Structure 1
Amino acid sequence: MTLILVIVLFAGLSFVGMPLAFSLGIATTISVFFTMDVPLHIIVERMLLGVDSFLFLAVPLFIMAAGIMNRAGITTRIFSFARALVGQVPGALGHSNVLASIIFAGISGSAVADSASLGKVEIKAMEEQGYPKPFSAAVTCASSTIGPIFPPSIPMVIFGGIAGVSVGELFLGGVIPGLLIAVCLMVLIYVISVRENYPRDEKFSFGRAGRTFMSAFFPLMTPVLIVGGIVTGVFTPTEAAAFTVVYAFILGFFIYRELKLSMLPEIFMETIITSAVVMLIISVASAFSWVLTMEQLGNLLAQWASAVDNPLLFLVIINIFLLLLGMVMETTAVLIIMTPFFVPLAQTLGIDMVHFGVMMVLNLMIGLSTPPFGLGLFTTSKIADLSLEAVMKSILPFIPILLVALILVILFPTLTTWLPSLLM
C-alpha cells in the first residue's frame, strides 16, 4: 500500500509542476504519516544521513570552481583554442562547440554549467557566422552531455558515494565514452553541415593554434591535475575539488587578472543557491529511497532480476527504464533513488561497477537532452532566446547518435574499464 501511495503521490505532484524536491518530500511525508508505524522525525534523520558524506562536499566545491572560471575569461579562451584546432572543416564552429565541451568538462563536471557558460559564447559565434540558431542551440545542448561523462563529474561523485565505488576509477572510466560521444556528434555535425552547406572557419595554422593553446594552457591543465592527483593518491576527490577552487582563483585573479574581488560575493551566492538545490534533492531523495527500501522494493527487483539471468538483457531493460526516468526527473534524484536498488542486482549478475556507473550517468545525460522534459532543453532555450519547441525539434537528429554511443558502451564494457585497470 505504502509503495503504491508514495509512487502515485510523487508522480501526481510532479505532473502538476511541483518542484522535484518538494514532490519527493511531500510524497514521502504523507506516505510515512498515513501508512507507516514510525515517527515522523525518522524522515529528517534519513535526510541528514543522505548528505552526511565527506565525499559530497566535492559537489559545492566543483560548482564554485566553475563559477570562478566563468568570471575569469576561461570560456572564451577555451572556445578560441577549439576553433583554432578545427580550422576549415565543414561545420567548423559546430565541431569547435563539441571540442570546447570536452575541455570545459574537465573544469565544471556539469552539463547545465556547460550549457550556461559555454553556450552563450558558442551560440553567439555560430549565429554571427550564419548558422541557424536552432542548430547552434541543438549542438550546444547535445555536446553539454559530455560534461558529466568526462572527469571530473559531479554525478559520478554522487554514484561513487552511494555505491562505494572508487571515484577515481569512475573518472577514468568516463574518458573513452566521453570521447566516443564527441566523435559521434562530430560525424553527425559534418554530415548535416555538408548537406546544408554551413560555413567553414578560418584555415588552420600552427601559429594561431599555438597562440590560443598558450592562452588556454592553464585551464587545459585542470583535468590533468585533478585526475592525476586522484589516481596517484595525492588527494581525495573532495580535496581535488578544493584544489580546483584555489587553482581557479589563482588563474582568474593573479594570471589572467579578469577576476575581481567584487565578483566573489555573487559567485558565493550562486554557489550557495545551486548547492542548496542539489543537496536538498539529495536529502529528500534519500528519504524517498528509504521508504521504497522499507516497502521491499529491493526484494521485488531481486525476484525480477533472478528471472533475468542474462547480464546484457538486464542492462538493456535497466537502460530503457533510466532513459524514461531521465526525461522527466533530475539526474541527481534518479541516482540517489535508484542506485541502492540497481547496484546489488548488477553485482549479482557479475557486472563491473565502474562500467555500470559510467553507463548509468551516460544514460541520464542523454535524458537531459531528450524531449519533452529534458532539463538541458530548458537551459539551452533560455540561453539561445528560442522557444522550447524550436530547440526540441532541432535536437531530434542528435538523440539517435547519442543512443549509438550508449549502445556501444553497453555492448563493450572495456570502453569504461580499460583505462582504470591500466592506471589504477
Structure 2
Amino acid sequence: MTLGFVVIGSFMLLMMIGVPVTIAIGAGTVAGLYWAGLMDFALVFPQQIIEGASKPALLAIPFFILAGNLMNAVGMTDKIFNFALALIGSVRAGLAYVNVIASLIFAGVSGAATADIAGLGQIEVRAMRERGYSHEFAAALTVATSLVGPIVPPSISLIVYAWLANESVARLFLAGIVPGLLVAASFIAYIRVMCEFQDMPREEPKNLTQIRHAILDGIPALIAPCIILGAIIFGFATATEAGVIACVYTLIVGVFYRAVSFSMLWTALKESALLSALIMMIIGASQTMGWLFAFEQVPQAFATGFLDAIDSRAMFLVFVVVLLIVIGCFMEATPAKIILLPLLLPVADAFGVDRVQFGMIITLALLIGIATPPMGVGLYLMSAVSGVKFERLSIAILPLLIPPFVALILISVFPAITLWLPDLVMGPAAP
C-alpha cells in the first residue's frame, strides 16, 4: 500500500504544480520504481507505454474524435440546434431547454463533452445572450449540459472503461442510454423549477413552414446515432468499425450540405490527430503505472484494506462517489480511470457491484469534475469559447451541478436504471 501512496501522491503533487498529465504519470511511476527498489526494471517502462497505446480496442477513439470534428465542420451542430429550437424554443425558457436537448442529440454523434462545448458552445451562448439570458448562465448551462456527452452512446469514455474492465462495449453503450436521458431530464426539471423564481425569456413561436424546414434539414444529423448504435448492438460492426461508419456517414452528409472542402478536412484531421495523440500518450503512460501496481500487488492490498474498513456495499459506493468527484476536480477522466480502476474494480466485485453499473457511476462522477473548479477542463474551454471570465463561470456553474449529482445518486442506488436496457436487449450478463 505504501507504494500506491508514493506513486499517486507524487502524481497528484506534480499535477497541482502544473506539470502536464503525461509527464506527471511517468514521473510518479518512476518515483514508485525507485521507492520499491525496482530501477533495474526501468526498461519495461517504454515497452509498457507502447503496449498500452497499441490495444486494438482503443482504435475506436480516434475515429469517434474525427467523427465529432467532422460533424462540427460540416455544420451538423447548427442543424441539431435549429431542430431543437424549432420544436421547443417557443415555450418559456425555451432556449435553456433547447440547450439540453441539443446536447443530448449531439452526444449521440460525438461521444465527448469537450466536442459538445466546442461545437455547440458558441452557437448556444450567442443565441441565449441575444434573447436576454445572462452571459454567465448561458455559458454555465452549456458546460453543465455537455456532461450528457460521455454517457450517451457512442462514448469515448465508455470505450476506455470497456477496455479497462474487460466489458462489452455494446452492453455499456446500451447501459448509457437511460442514465443519459435521466441526466437530461434532471436539467429540464431544474430549469422548470428556476422558471418559478426567475423571469425566463420566451422565444417567438415558429410557423409550420419553419418547423418543417428545420426537421427536414436536421434528419441526416438525427439518423447518425441510430446508425452508429444499431451497427454495434446488432453485431454488424465493432466499435472501431462503427467509428469509421460515423466518419464516412458524416462526410456523405457534408456533401449533401455542400460543406465539404479540402481545408475543412485538413483542419478536422489535424485536430483529431492532436487530440488522439494526447489521449493515447496518457493511456500509454498510465499503462506503466498499472503494470507497477500489478507487479507489486497493490490492487489486492487495496481491496483487502477496503474490505476491512468498509463492510457494506452502500458505504463502498458512497466512498467511491465522493472520492471520484474530488479526484475529478483535479484530474482528467481518462488518466483517473486508468489509475483508479485496477484498485477499485476488485473491491466492487467483492461487494457484488455490477461492472456495467460501476462504469456508469465512475463515468458520471468523474464527468462532474470537468465542470468543477479548480481544474475543470470544461470551464477553461467554455471560458475561451464564450469570453466569460473563469472565476465568474466557476460561481455560475455551482447550482447547475445539482441535477447531475442527483442523477448520480439515483444511478448508484438503483442498478436497474443502468442494467434494465442491456438486460432487455442482450439478456442478463453471465455471472
What band does the TM-score fall into relative to the shorter chain? over 0.9
Task: Give secondary structure in 2 for the equivalent of 1:234.
Answer: coil
Amino acid at match of 1:351: V
Aligned length: 423
For 1:43, give the aligned amino acid.
Answer: F
CA offset at residue 353 of structure 1?
A: 1.4
Q: Which residue is 1:292 aligned to? A: 293
Where do 1:162-181 residues align within 5 Å?
162-181=164-183
Partner in structure 1 of residue 123 of structure 2: 121
C-alpha distance after superposition, 1:109-131 (max 9, x if no partner): 00011011100100011111111
Secondary structure of 2:329's counterpart equals: helix
Structure 1 residue 195, shift from structure 2 partner: 2.3
- Aligned-partner residue type, residue 279 of structure 1: M
Q: Distance in 1 between matches of 2:105 and 2:287?
A: 32
Pairing 1:93-132 to 2, within 5 Å after superposition: 93-132=95-134
Match of 2:140 in 1: 138
Deviation at 1:205, TM superposition (A): 5.0
Q: Give the conservation status (yes or no) of the 8 Å contact 2:70–2:250.
A: yes
Contact 2:125 2:139 in 1 (8 A): yes
Q: Which amino acid aligns with 2:304?
A: Q
Does structure 2 conserve the Cα–Cα contact (< 8 Å) formed by 1:90 and 1:194? no
Contact 1:93–1:126, Cα closer than 8 Å, also in 2: yes
Q: Does 1:328 align with 2:333?
A: no
Call closer, same or farther: CA 1:312–1:34 in 2, change over 3 Å. Answer: closer
**Corresponding residue number in structure 2 for 1:48:** 50
- The 1-side partners of 2:196 and 2:141 are apart by 15
Mind listing any 5+ residue stretches in structure 2 that lack a counterpart?
Answer: 427-431
Q: Is the 8 A contact 2:303 2:344 kept in 1?
A: no
1:225: how far off?
0.8
Using the TM superposition, give the Cα deviation of residue 348 of structure 1 relative to its aligned residue in structure 2, in angstroms.
2.0
Q: CA deviation at 1:222?
A: 1.0
Q: Matches of 1:352 and 1:189 in 2, distance apart?
A: 33
Q: CA deviation at 1:2?
A: 3.8
Whether 2:264 is the aligned partner of 1:250: answer: no
Q: TM-score scaled to structure 2, two decimals?
A: 0.95
Q: Give the letter for the 2:286 counterpart.
A: A
Q: Deviations over 1:238-258 (max 9, x none)?
A: 110011111111111x21111
CA contact (8 A) 1:123 1:140 kept: yes
In structure 2, give the amino acid aligned to 1:296.
Q
How is 1:242-321 mapped onto 2 (pairs within 5 angstroms)? 242-252=244-254, 254-307=255-308, 308-321=310-323
Aligned to 2:392: 390
Q: State whether residues 10 and 27 of structure 1, in contact with CA within 8 Å, keep that contact through their aligned partners in structure 2.
A: yes
What's 2:429 paired with? none
Alignment pair present for 1:419 and 2:421 = yes
Please list the CA deviations of residues 287-343 of structure 1 after superposition, one character each: whole Å capped at 9, or x if unmatched. 122223333321222113323342222111111111111111000001111122222
Deviations 1:75-115 (A, max 9, x none): 11100011111133221111101100000001110001101
Match of 2:204 in 1: 202
Q: SS where residue 373 of structure 1 aligns?
A: coil
Bigger CA drift: 79-88 or 192-201? 192-201
Q: Contact conserved, 1:326 with 1:368, CA < 8 A, in 2?
A: yes
| 1:216 match: secondary structure | helix
Name the CA shift for 1:293/1:199 in 2 (closer, same or farther; >3 Å). Answer: same
Are the aligned partners of 2:151 and 2:177 in contact in 1 as well (CA < 8 Å)? yes
SS where residue 197 of structure 2 aligns? helix
| Stretch of structure 1 that moved more, 399-408 or 232-241 | 399-408
Q: Distance in 1 between matches of 2:361 and 2:27?
A: 31
The 1-side partners of 2:12 and 2:18 are apart by: 10
Moved more, 30-39 or 399-408: 30-39
SS at match of 2:236: coil
The answer for the alignment partner of 2:74 in structure 1 is 72
Instruction: Normalising by structure 1, report the TM-score.
Output: 0.96
What residue is the counterpart of 2:33 in the other structure? 32
Residues 86 and 204 of structure 1 are in contact (CA less than 8 Å); yes or no, is this contact kept in structure 2?
no
Contact 1:90 1:190 in 2 (8 A): no
**In structure 1, what is the Cα distance between the partners aligned to 2:299 and 2:41?**
23
Asked if the contact 2:16/2:330 (under 8 Å) is kept, the reply is no
Measured in 1, the distance between the counterparts of 2:89 and 2:123 equals 18
Instruction: Return closer, same or farther for 1:352/1:5 CA change in 2, 3 Å cut-off.
Output: closer
1:371-403 deviation line (CA, Å, top 9, x unaligned): 222111111111110111111110011112211
Q: Is the Cα–Cα contact under 8 Å of residues 99 and 182 in structure 1 kept in the other structure?
A: yes
Residues in 1 aligned to 2:402 and 2:296: alpha-carbon distance in whole angstroms? 37
Q: Distance in 2 between matches of 1:202 and 1:172?
A: 37
Give distance in 1, aligned partners of 2:319 and 2:179: 20
Between the aligned partners of 1:154 and 1:187, the Cα distance in structure 2 is: 27
1:148 counterpart (130, 147, 150): 150
The answer on whether the counterparts of 1:77 and 1:215 sit within 8 Å (CA) in structure 2 is yes
Q: Is the 8 A contact 2:3 2:298 kept in 1?
A: no
Q: Does 1:17 align with 2:29?
A: no
SS at match of 1:285: helix
Unaligned runs of 5+ in 1: none
8 Å contact kept, 2:283–2:338: yes
1:34 Cα offset (Å): 5.7
Alpha-carbon distance between aligned partners in 2 of 1:194 and 1:89, rounded to the nearest angstrom:
14
The answer to whether the 8 A contact 1:366-1:402 is kept is yes
Q: Which moved more, 1:104-113 or 1:209-218?
A: 209-218
Residue in structure 2 matched with residue 185 of structure 1 by the alignment = 187
Contact 1:3/1:295 (<8 A) preserved: no
How is 1:325-404 mapped onto 2 (pairs within 5 angstroms)? Answer: 325-404=327-406
1:186 to partner: Cα distance:
1.3
